[in-house]
């Protein structure tokens, strides 16, 4: 998955391409291949999803 962004490359002024993979989201320049890694754009409520499962495991182990 990837889309063009309106940002310009800080190194050469080329077109930046927004992409994500196993390492997360990043922008890459199509002309010079400069990569700008982005912070987390969206974070799921992972703590809320994992909490009931972990408590069920601890309750089953205690029984």
pLDDT computed for residue 54 by the predictor:
41
Instruction: State the Cα–Cα distance between residues 4 and 62, nearest whole angstrom.
Output: 53
pLDDT computed for residue 45 by the predictor:
53
- Identify whether the C-beta of residue 28 lies closer than 8 Å to the C-beta of residue 8: no
Residue ranges making up the domain that contains 16: 2-62
Looking at the predicted structure, is the pLDDT value of residue 60 above 70? no
pLDDT computed for residue 11 by the predictor:
93
- What would the pLDDT profile of 2-59 be if each residue is shown by its tens digit? 565 677 899 999 999 888 888 788 899 999 999 988 875 455 555 444 334 444 444 4
This prediction's pTM: 0.52
Is the C-alpha dihedral spanning 21, 25, 28, 30 positive or negative?
positive
Number of domains present in the structure of the chain: 1
């Amino acid at each position: 998955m990837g889309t063009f962004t309106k940002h310009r490359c800080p190194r050469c002024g080329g077109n930046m391409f927004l992409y994500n993979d196993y390492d997360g989201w990043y922008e890459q320049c199509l002309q010079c291949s400069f990569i700008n890694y982005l912070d987390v754009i969206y974070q799921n409520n992972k703590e809320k999803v994992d909490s009931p499962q972990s408590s069920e495991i601890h309750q089953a182990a205690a029984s």
